[in-house]
Structure 1
Amino acid sequence: MNPFKTGPGAKSVIGMLALTIAVSGCADMSATQRGTATGAGVGAGLGALIGGTTSGGGSGRTAGGALLGAAAGAVVGNIWSNRMENQKRTMEQATQGTGVQVTQTSDNRLKMEIPSDISFDTNRADIKGNFRPILDRFAATLNDNPSTTVSIIGHTDSTGSASINEPLSVERAAHTRDYLSMRGVSPTRVVVEGRGAREPIASNSDNDGRARNRRVEIYVAEMAPR
């Protein structure tokens, strides 16, 4: 028996996934439509595989699994709604010229990367004055879209020991959450995490690199309806 032989069900799976890749890359689709199409296609492929590998699985079971998987894939995961797009544009305008990077991630989250010269002084977790207007505007966008959740991740450079850097990175993330809370954002929507010096984005061998590594990353996600 050839273990790599592809029957009708497997060919259907390959076809679905190929179609998903093609469709989700169409230029005239919105980001929300592309995300939904990708989820549906991946869900269809997984559903087909599950249907084909269960006992008695034939082409009918594979097709049924594909339909169920497509339905599940279309509603699982993050979506990039008009509200998320508006939030991204608002934050791009609010942070213009500050060095803050505002992007859409591959998994449809809004990401803000805030460098240390804006957010925190060295070895400190107190929010700097020029970081506050950014957080004020950010809090307003979160209050306009209450279905979103927020992850705040603090980072440090490699100066000092892990026993210092780990709690400092957590404290910076927590202070950011607390500031948002004072601006009306429910703390139950926010998860904080500190990663110390474990995830550098630049070399720690010079001042510029260490300054880039001392940062806070904020992610906003809107889940698809279930």
Structure 2
Amino acid sequence: MSKNQFSRDALAVGLGAAALLTAGCADMNMGSMSPTAKGTAIGAGVGALAGAAIGGDTRGAAIGGLVGAAGGYVWSRHMQEKKAAMERATAGSGVQVSQTTDNQLKLNVPSDLSFDTGRSDIRPNMRPILDQFASGLSGQPNTEVRIIGHTDSTGSPAVNDPLSVQRAQATKNYLASRGVDPNRIVIAGRGEREPVADNITEAGRARNRRVEIFLGERADVAHR
């Protein structure tokens, strides 16, 4: 049997087993598990079987298991290239670029680049960063963007909560104007509820007045 034939047969067997695993979960002792734990366990098992079918060995199973447990995002070559591009574009700016534990690219953009106190309009210094972020995403429909707006503690929640949403919306609008499909962008506001620094000093308030941008690539259509 040729290697290609073996890979096709292994893939068919592995995916069939994955389907049986999913259907048979009701018969497993999972009644005491939370929905999140069940989803993670099923995802890891299905991912492991599919990974074994694709990889043909235990290494493939391990990779597939990690993908399943991670919630559906993968860290592909495209994601690594995007991270490197964003690191170059933001070098020395104070923007933090990182890979999250669930394989999303995260940009933490502080207020000296993003928003003035009490404002939701994007500062000019932020535009080149968003331009680079948007670059190439129109050709990658399997990616998803999530934007979270934050404020400092100046003002009341009645002001800060909608302001944080407005900051996320302004960021979404800018990305959409640069060719990113707005239907692939989800926004939320956290107001002052998730500070990363104290709100006593101006420096601390400036760090809290930020926007976080996440980019994820779905495992089922990722380009390896």
Q: State TM-score, norm by structure 1.
A: 0.69
Aligned to 1:31: none
2:130 to 135, 147, 155: 135
Q: How many pairs align?
A: 172
Q: Which runs of 5+ in 2 are unaligned?
A: 1-17, 31-41, 51-64
Q: Which has the larger radius of gyration?
A: 1
1:158 to 145, 153, 160: 153
1:71 paired to 2:49: yes
Identity of aligned residues (%): 55
1:169-208 residue pairs with structure 2 within 5 A?
169-208=164-203
Cα distance in 1 between the residues matched to 2:169 and 2:120: 9
Cα distance in 2 between the residues matched to 1:129 and 1:68: 46
How large is the RMSD of aligned CA atoms in angstroms? 2.5
Q: Which runs of 5+ in 1 are unaligned?
A: 1-42, 55-64
Using the TM superposition, give the Cα deviation of residue 141 of structure 1 relative to its aligned residue in structure 2, in angstroms: 3.6
2:121 to 113, 118, 126: 126
Q: State TM-score, norm by structure 2.
A: 0.70
1:7-22 residue pairs with structure 2 within 5 A?
none
Decide whether aligned partners of structure 1 residues 139 and 51 sit closer, same or farther in structure 2, where only a CA change above 3 A counts. Answer: same
Decide whether aligned partners of structure 1 residues 93 and 67 sit closer, same or farther in structure 2, where only a CA change above 3 A counts. Answer: closer
Aligned to 1:30: none
Decide whether aligned partners of structure 1 residues 87 and 53 sit closer, same or farther in structure 2, where only a CA change above 3 A counts. Answer: same
Cα distance in 2 between the residues matched to 1:88 and 1:69: 25
Using the TM superposition, give the Cα deviation of residue 77 of structure 1 relative to its aligned residue in structure 2, in angstroms: 1.3
1:89 paired to 2:67: no
Q: Contact 2:138 / 2:181 at 8 angstroms: preserved in 1?
A: no
1:216 paired to 2:206: no
1:25-64 residue pairs with structure 2 within 5 A?
52-53=28-29
Cα distance in 2 between the residues matched to 1:158 and 1:137: 31
Using the TM superposition, give the Cα deviation of residue 52 of structure 1 relative to its aligned residue in structure 2, in angstroms: 4.7
Decide whether aligned partners of structure 1 residues 181 and 205 sit closer, same or farther in structure 2, where only a CA change above 3 A counts. Answer: same
Using the TM superposition, give the Cα deviation of residue 53 of structure 1 relative to its aligned residue in structure 2, in angstroms: 2.7
The CA deviation string for residues 24-55 of structure 1, in whole angstroms up to 9 with x for no partner, is: xxxxxxxxxxxxxxxxxxx9xx979866538x
SS in 2 for 1:164: helix
Using the TM superposition, give the Cα deviation of residue 176 of structure 1 relative to its aligned residue in structure 2, in angstroms: 0.4
1:104 paired to 2:82: no
Cα distance in 2 between the residues matched to 1:69 and 1:96: 36
Amino acid at match of 1:70: A
Using the TM superposition, give the Cα deviation of residue 99 of structure 1 relative to its aligned residue in structure 2, in angstroms: 0.5
Using the TM superposition, give the Cα deviation of residue 145 of structure 1 relative to its aligned residue in structure 2, in angstroms: 2.6
Decide whether aligned partners of structure 1 residues 82 and 210 sit closer, same or farther in structure 2, where only a CA change above 3 A counts. Answer: same
